[in-house]
Amino acid sequence: MKGVNIVLLGYGNVGRAFLQVLQEKREIMLARYGLDFRLHSVFRQGGALYSPQPLAVKEILEEYAPRASFQKDPDWYQDLGLEHVLESTDPGVLVECISSDKKGGEPGLSLISVALERGWHVVTADKGPLVAGFRELFERARSHQVSLKISGATAAALPTLDVALHSLAGTDIYQIEGILNGTTNYILTRIREGAGYPEALAEAQSKGIAEPDPSLDITGWDTASKILIISSAVLETEFSVENMKIQGVDNIPPDLLDQGKKEGQALKLLGKLSKKAGKFQLEVALEVIDSSHPLFGVDGIDKGITFYTDTMGAVTVTGGKSDPRGAGAALLKDIIAIYQRDI
């Protein structure tokens, strides 16, 4: 049995779902993987929980509602910085679930760096730092001989990097196409079924699929950031979101709308890495695909990705829960992968 210290950064929907899964899976983690997780700290805006002795996950989830402050219980709450906590605790895994800035990647970029430099592994669901500083972060992880795992930021419960790096090891991946955003896929599915764009968006919002401010999804940024991170990890490409051609679903050309409604056709928002004249290009594009396309049946909030390879042909993965619980489970999966090497 191996004790694994955990520090959680972020107590929003994903952070809470992660703790929930951690709690549910406690027995299985011990029995199946020999891992004994010890949560020492939870950080969020406006406070932190910290204890040198492992915290009771169940109690935290019961005591602290999503938007409550941690300052309720003065014995628990201590105004400690992350650095101090990481230095006072034997290195384990920092679980990063905050929403950093989409441009500079802060504060995630700095906070992940702080952890890596102190010998902590990091698993993250935060795209900002990876879009802004992919190479920098992975070089930092390598030089400190720790792992940085990013399933949570690359479609979470839908396995993307695992499949590309592990299941397709040794192949030459020359093209990637992904439906990587549940909100836009839901909107496009509803439009195909006859809804108008404003109606489909309002529906997605009322069902909690789209954020109250859905702009990062509908303008294609979320898809762009995911395909960019995937392509950086799988093919070591060096793109920036600023230089990508990005379409969204907020302004669909009428001819595409019509074409996508035809029998055996569907309009999809694809994150796409392809080769033109020997050079990779990365874009987010509205495309009408037909029923022979492996992503044709990926409807509603579902996601999917196809890798085109030389020796194994095209391999497609679809599904995976598009919700905080799926993201929490993906963070846990990454932690297991880090320690499975040792057990």
**Rule CB under 8 A: which residues touch its own copies?**
21, 24-25, 28-29, 33, 157-159, 162-163, 166-172, 291, 294, 296-297, 306, 311-322, 325-326, 328-330, 332-333, 336-337, 340-341
Q: What is the DSSP letter of 166?
A: I
Task: CB nearer to its own copies: give 82 or 150.
Answer: 150
**Residue 328 Cβ, how far from its own copies at the closest point, in Å?**
7
Task: CB nearer to its own copies: give 210 or 330.
Answer: 330
**Residue 170 Cβ, how far from its own copies at the closest point, in Å?**
5
DSSP string, 44-83: ETTEEEE-SSPP-HHHHHHH--TT--GGG-TTTB----HH
Task: CB nearer to its own copies: give 205 or 316.
Answer: 316
Cβ(78)–Cβ(106) under 8 Å?
no
Q: How far apart are CA 329 and CA 17, in angstroms?
A: 8
Task: CB nearer to its own copies: give 83 or 236.
Answer: 236
Task: CB nearer to its own copies: give 53 or 292.
Answer: 292
**Residue 206 Cβ, how far from its own copies at the closest point, in Å?**
22
Q: How far apart are the first and last CA of the chain?
A: 8
Sign of the CA dihedral running 105, 111, 117, 121: negative
Long-range contacts of 234-243 (CB under 8 A, 24+ apart): 234/161, 234/164, 234/165, 234/173, 234/176, 235/173, 235/273, 235/280, 237/273, 237/280, 237/282, 238/135, 239/282, 241/131
Task: CB nearer to its own copies: give 34 or 196.
Answer: 34
**Residue 297 Cβ, how far from its own copies at the closest point, in Å?**
5
**Residue 33 Cβ, how far from its own copies at the closest point, in Å?**
8
**Residue 295 Cβ, how far from its own copies at the closest point, in Å?**
9
